[in-house]
Every structure is written in structure tokens, then in C-alpha cells.
Amino acid sequence: MGTTDSKLNFRKAVIQLTTKTQPVEATDDAFWDQFWADTTTTVQDVFALVPAAEIRAVREESPSNLATLCYKAVERLVQGAESGCPTEREKQVILNCTRILTRILPYIFEDQDWRGFFWSTVPGAGRAGTDDLDDDDGARPLAESLLLAIADLLFCPDFTVHSHKRGPDSVENMQSIDSCEYIWEAGVGFAQSPPLNYIHDLNRTELLRLLLTCFSEAMYLPPSTDNSVLNPWVTFFCSTENRHALPLFTSLLNVVCAYDPVGYGIPYNHLLFSDYREQLVEQAVQILIVTLEHDGGVPYRPPSPSSMEEQETTGPENLFVNYLSRIHREEDFDFVLKGVARLLTNPLTQTYLPNSTKKIQFHQELLVLFWKLCDFNKKFLFFVLKSSDVLDILVPILYYLNDARADQSRVGLMHIGVFILLLLSGERNFGVRLNKPYSIHVPMDIPVFTGTHADLLIVVFHKIITTGHQRLQPLFDCLLTIVVNVSPYLKSLSMVAANKLLHLLEAFSTSWYLFSAAQNHHLVFFLLEAFNNIIQYQFDGNCNLVYAIIRKRNVFHQLANLPSDSASIQKALQRKRKSPDVISRTSSQETVSMEGSHPAVPAEPGTLKTSLIAMPGIDKLTEKSQVSEDGTMVSVPKTDSPDTVPSDQTEMERRRLSSASSTSFWAPTPEWVLSWKCKLPLQTIMRLLQVLVPQVEKICIDKGLTDESEILKFLQHGTLVGLLPVPHPILIRKYQANAGTAMWFRTYMWGVVYLRNVDPPIWYDTDVRLFEIQRM
């Protein structure tokens, strides 16, 4: 009965607030206490009992009451952080204030006139009887007081951490606590694992949810490529002003990387116990990716005359980025890598008992976190590539890419997976590691093959290109760049993978495809470069690929003789109109899919997705490096090489999403065809065909062979030493960050956070401007 009463009283207080036309004094504690002192409402209750329309009505019609409500709630959090919430009642007050602020903040952010409110000091509001607040925090903006209170409360004994004192006077002094002794989980920089306490986990989750809501002001600003504008909430929270920055960063990272969702190996365990740790891990990983977005710069503040000079200098260093970049111990790297790999692999683990293990849903956040780790800590990246552990990251990424290829609501997931592989492929070790045999066989909707991880990568990429949805076309360049980057190191491709690569060349080199968009010929250049790398540097083990090239030799001859006169161009384009989608229809000898796999399916109707900004083209995403004799890389100056677009065409490239309309911007001409046709790198392959085709034909005639294995045996022992052109230097296209990719990451990351926080729906139906919410 008590709960119903308290909900009723809470609802009455909300109605009073929305109907009062006169400002309520900040000193009227009897009125304000109704919101948090005598109620036991869950966060879901608060969202139900405080409707959006009423928050907006108070904001418009009695702004001073909304301001006072925010101020009073922050004041209670500050008091709780100072006292350490010794009583149950005080703990309940803190949770109620946390929930109310989580509910209200998005409506503050959506109104431009209110956005500066938390960064102002509230003159004389509610200062009666709080002299200490006046002295210490009198000049502090409300946002800073709120953020520091949350940080303190996240290390509050018997509320969010275990108390170390166990005497009659066991109240610990909040001001003198060394929070480094209260880190939430063993792992990086901390050896003790405190006992699990689900109440602490729940309280931490509530506070982190409020923290995430504070950081979400970024959602209410339109996309901008100006990277110097920072999120003031994140900037302050990750600065030296927050004395708990290090222990909190460590707690968040350790809680995520130590989490094992399997439930101590007991099947169906997750159905018996509500897993409070999972909710905490989800909030923790979201806080991490949001705080790691910026590595310092100018925080945005509404300009005031006094702050103008400060705007010139960069803002304080982001301590979370600093700590992440300074992790260096092998055992810490091992802990982080194994934790991330375990969680990424979790949705793939098939057991004989359906639904017997818990499936986590936060793999997109984990991929962003892994990206940040590699981006900010190069030692971590090298550690990942030092052993075949990198394959424990590769396999789940390929699984997600293959699984999401038909689902337009997961196009962001496709991008982040491909970006990680592009980043890894810029390092030689990644290509070398791919030669490890692939034996685990995660059930995937791909042809069965026997081979290496390189074969798996090629087979999955082929599947994405030939059976993915239309909006994945901008990723084709990236996928083939990855193949080119690893190609010089691939010792032995399987017949299945070799045939897939040849099938892609066949599809991309049809004249109608080459002539139908300004940059389609790049895909042919990438594939030819990959073939050349394998022939020149790994000929000995690659008889399958050589055989596939010989069988499909007409494709190379047709490319060499590609017609470039106007009549042929027109004829090819007319053919295109009759058969608009030849890539996926060209016969590709599809074989049986792996046992236990499910086909990739489109999104369910009604699925919500958030919009993404266009990605920069591959020439902006990467910079070329040449591999020298000793294996070191030398940067190559930018020129208009055949596979980069002349600058006047880059705008056209951005339009590729709507390839149907691109014809109205651009038409192929004979001069244009000749400009790149003469640069097609066909010499090596033509020489190979010239030498080997007569030999293979002679054997077939002499021995009456129709058996593939005999021909492969001959090719295996053949050699082209001294017969091929001088090997070209290996070119690697390494990922490079720029303003465009930084903005893409921001919109993608906040889109994921928006869609994943549905209970309660923190931002639902508010005026978000960083992206659009679309229903499939």
C-alpha cells in the first residue's frame, strides 16, 4: 500500500508544480521535499509520473520553478556526497533526486535558451542554512557541483562501494576517502575483487545513467565538423577537477573487462537471477565510449566577455584518454583483450541447450571501445597483433558483419566493424596472423570451406558485396582496401576464396558496371593490385588462385580490350538498364551454408534506427605507406594515382548512396575511360598467363587430363622466377583519422546510446538534433 501512496503523493507534487503560476520559493522545503524525501519511486515510475508535456509546460510557463527544482535536486546530491548518506532515508533521497534529474535534463538540453542554465551560478537560491555550500561552491556552476557530487557518490561506502570500516562509529569521512582503495573490480592497476553486492551495482547504475544523461547534451547540437568544440560536461568531468577520475576510469574499464555473462557455467542461470552486473556493465561501457570521444580542446560555453581570452587556449587534458593511453603492462593488455574478446564472442557461442546462456546486447559499444583502445594506445594495438589473439576479435567482427548485411537498421554496425579491420590491416602482423588455419567454425551463413582466417575474411566480404543491401555500396572500397593491405602476406588461399575473388573481378569489370559511376573502376584496380601482390610475393603457395586466374583468363583479356568509343559506352549503359543488379546475380557456384547457421534477414518492420552522416571516401580515410626492404613503412606523398579520385569528382563520390541519381550528375566519356584504362596494372597477370596457359594446355592434351588436382599439382611445383616483371613495392593504405570520421563516430556512438536506453527511454521523443530517428 505504501508504494501506491507514495506514487500518488509524488504525482500530486508534479501536478502542483505544473499548475502553480507563481514561483515557489527555494526555501519552501515542505514543497520541494515531496519530490524526493517521502517517496519510494523507481526510475520507471518517475518517467511515467512526469510526462514530457508537463516538463515542457513548466519550462515555458513557470521557468523559475523548473530552475529551482533542478537546483534543489543538485543541492540534495551535494549534501549526500558530503554526509556519505549514513541512513537508508538519505540513500533513498539521493536515488530519487538522481531519477528526477535523469528525467528532466533532456528537456533542458532540447531548448537552446536553457542550455546554458547548468553552467550559470544560481544567485542566492536556497542559500538559507547552507553557508558551507555558499563558501565552497558559491561560485561553482550548477553543472560542476552536480558532476562532482556524482563522482563522490560513486565511491560512497555502503551505498556504492563496500565500507572498509567495521566499528560502531563506522561512518567514513567522505572528504578524506582515498577512492583508489575502493575501485569496483580487480583488473588494470587493482588486484582485489570486492564481493559482489547487487544493491551497490544498482545504485552505481542509477548514478551512471544520470552521468550519461548529463553528457548527452551532445545529442541536441547539429552535426559539425569543427572538432575544437567539446562537450563541456565531459571536459569538466574528465579534468583534474574530478579527484576520482583515475579510480572511476579504472573501475569502469575493469567492470566491463572482467564481466562474464555465462553465469558461472550454470545453464539457464541468467533466468533465475536478474543480472544486475549486466546493467552496470552496459552503463559503464557507454560512459567509457562517450568520455573517450575527445582528447582535450576548447569546451563549449555560452560566450561571456571574461571567457573570451580563454577560448583561444585548448581546454584541460582529458584524463580518461590520458589514463587509457598510458596502460602499458602486458598483464593489463592481456586482461583487457581477453575481456573484450570474451564479450564479443558471447553472442556467437552456440550451446546444445537453446537460450541456456545469456546473450549480451552491447557488442556495438564494445566495438567502439576496442577502436578507442587501439586508436589511443598504440602499444595495445601492437600487443593485439603480436599473437593470434587478434583472431579472437576478427572472428566475432566477421560474424556481425555477415549477420547484419541484409539489415539496413544495422548499417552503423557494418561500418564500425569494417573500420576496425581497416585499422588492423594497416599493420603487417595482421596479414601474417590471417594464415592461421580456421577451425572453430562458428555457424555462419557462408559456404563451407577448409582453409585459413584469410579465407574466412574473403568469403564473408564476398557475401557482403554480393548479397548485402544497397546502402553498403560505400563500404566496397574499404572492404577491398583491407584485402589489398593483407594480400602480400597470404601464403595459401583456398579454392573457395580464390573463386570468390575472381567472381568479384568478373562482376566489377563488366563494361556496364565500369561505366555506370565515376569511381567504380577503383574496385577493379584494388582487385588487380591484390592479385599482383599474391603473384609477386606469395606465388609458391597459391596454386589455387593461379588456377582460378587461368580459368577466368578471358576476364583479364576483356579488361585489356575494354572498348572506349562513345557507341560502346552507350550500348553498355543500355544493357545496365535491362539488368540493374548483376553483381549478386552472376553465377558464383554458391555451395551449402554451414550447419546451424541462419540466413541474414532484413530489419523487422517498425525497427527504429538513427541516421548517420556520410563517410569520407577511401582516399580521405587512408594514407599510403610503402613497405621498404627491411619491413619499415615510408609514407607516400599524395598524388592523383589511378585509384584515387581527382578532386573534382569527390563530391560525386559522396552521392554514391543514390547511384540511381548519380547519372544525372555525370556521364562517362571516351577520354575518361582512356585516362584510367591505360593505368590498369595488368602486366604481371598477362605475363603469368602468357607463360602458364600454353604449359597447362599442353599437359591437358598430352595426358588427356580433365582432373583439376593434376593441374594444381603441376602449378604447385611450377615457378615464374625471372619471368615476371620486377616486383613492385608493397603499398599499404593505413587508416587516418580526420574531422569527417570523428563526426561519423560521434553520430554513430550517440545513436547507439539513444537506441539502447529504452528502459527507461531517456531521450525518446525529445528534440534530438545530432541525428534523425527513423522507423524501418
Q: What is the pLDDT of residues 80-126, one digit of tens each?
A: 999 999 999 999 999 999 999 999 999 999 999 999 999 988 654 43
Please say if the pLDDT value at position 707 is more than 90.
no
- Name, of 17-31, 271-285, 321-335, the range with top average pLDDT: 321-335
What pLDDT score does 80 carry?
A: 96
Angle at 674 between CA 503 and CA 476, to 5 degrees: 35
With left for phi above 0 and alpha for psi between -120 and 50, is residue 596 left, alpha or beta? left
771: left (phi over 0), alpha (psi -120 to 50) or beta: beta
The one-letter code for the residue type at 629 is: E
Q: Determine the average pLDDT of the residues in 238-261.
A: 96
- What is the residue whose three cell numbers read 537506441? 755
Closest CA to 748 of 324, 419, 341, 478: 419
**Averaged confidence pLDDT in the chain:** 86
The per-residue pLDDT for 128 is: 35
**pLDDT: is 556 or 595 the higher one?**
556
Between the CA of residue 454 and those of 348, 484, 489, what are the distances in Å? 19, 12, 10
**pLDDT of amino acid 498:** 98
Higher pLDDT, 651 or 212: 212
Model confidence over 740-766: pLDDT tens digits?
Answer: 888 999 999 999 999 999 999 999 999
List C-alpha distances in Å: 747 to 10, 381, 758: 36, 25, 18
Residue 650: how many other CB atoms lie within 10 Å:
16
* pLDDT at position 587 over 50: no
3 vs 179, more confident:
179
**Cβ contacts of residue 449 below 8 Å, gap of 6+?**
455, 456, 459, 494, 496, 497
Share of the chain above pLDDT 70, in %: 85
Share in percent of the chain as helix, strand, coil (round to 5): 60, 5, 35
- H/E stretch holding 500 reads helix 495-508
Strand ranges inside 498-566, DSSP E: none
- Over 60: is that where the pLDDT of 159 sits? yes
Q: What is the mean pLDDT of the segment spanning 565-588?
A: 70
Q: How far apart are CA 2 and CA 244, in angstroms?
A: 37
pLDDT of residue 591: 57
**If you average pLDDT over residues 704-729, what whole number do you get?**
83
- The answer to which of 3-7, 438-442, 586-590 has the lowest mean pLDDT is 586-590
- For the record, the C-alpha cell of 189 comes out as 592497476
Question: What confidence score (pLDDT) does residue 353 get?
Answer: 58
Among the residue ranges 30-34, 221-225, 548-552, 622-626, the one predicted with the least confidence is 221-225
Residue 133 pLDDT > 60, yes or no?
A: no
- Beta strands (DSSP E) in 536-631 are 608-610, 622-627
Q: Which string of DSSP letters, residue by residue, matches 718-770?
A: ---TTTSPPPPPEEEEEE---HHHHHHHHHHHHHHHHHH-BTTBSSTTS---S
Mean pLDDT across 187-193: 92
**The amino acid at 684:** T
Kindly state the average pLDDT of the residues 155-166. 89
Q: Which has more confidence, 616 or 644?
A: 616
Region 465-478 average pLDDT: 93
Distance CA(512)–CA(578), nearest Å, equals 11
Position 49 pLDDT exceeds 80:
yes
pLDDT at 2: 58
pLDDT in tens, 505-525: 999 999 999 999 999 999 999
Residue 435: which pLDDT band, with cuts at 50, 70 and 90? very high
Per-residue pLDDT band at 271 (split at 50, 70, 90): low
Cα three-residue angle 152-90-82, rounded to 5 degrees: 35
* pLDDT at 121 (0 to 100): 82
Query: What stretches of 450-575 adopt beta strand conformation (E)?
Result: none
Other CB atoms within 10 A of residue 20 CB: 14
- Please check whether residue 216 is in contact with residue 750, taking contact to mean a CB–CB distance below 8 angstroms: yes
Confidence grade of residue 391 (pLDDT, cut at 50, 70, 90): very high
CA torsion 528-530-535-536 (nearest 10°) is: 100
| Residues in the chain, total | 776
Taking the chain, what is the end-to-end CA distance rounded to the nearest angstrom? 43
Asked whether residue 420 carries a pLDDT value surpassing 90, the answer given is yes
Mean pLDDT calculated for residue range 139-161: 95
Residue 170: pLDDT band (50, 70, 90) is: low
Q: What is the mean pLDDT of residues 400-417?
A: 95
Of residues 292, 218, 215, the one with CA closest to residue 249? 292
Is 297 in a helix, a strand, or coil? coil
Say yes or no to pLDDT of 205 above 90.
yes
Mean of the pLDDT values across residues 723-731? 89
Q: What pLDDT score was predicted for residue 586?
A: 42
Q: Which of 457, 509, 513 is nearest to 481 (CA)?
A: 457
| Predicted local confidence at residue 93, as pLDDT | 95
pLDDT at 318 over 50: yes
* Lowest-pLDDT choice from 39-48, 223-232, 415-424, 672-681: 223-232
According to DSSP, the β-strands at 622-627 and 730-735 are antiparallel
pLDDT > 90? residue 143: yes
Q: What is the pLDDT of residues 491-506, one digit of tens each?
A: 999 999 999 999 999 9
Residues 412/612, Cβ–Cβ less than 8 Å: yes
The three-class DSSP label of residue 230 is strand
What is the rounded distance in angstroms from the CA atom of residue 381 to the CA atom of residue 372? 10
Residue 54 pLDDT > 90, yes or no?
A: yes
Q: What does the pLDDT look like over 233-246, one tens digit per residue?
A: 999 999 999 999 99
Q: Which range is least confidently modeled, 490-504, 652-666, 706-720?
A: 652-666
Residue 288: the pLDDT is 98
Whole-number pLDDT of residue 129 = 36
Q: Give yes or no for residue 312 having a pLDDT over 70.
A: no
pLDDT of 654 reads 39
Angstrom distance (rounded) from CA 122 to CA 151: 21
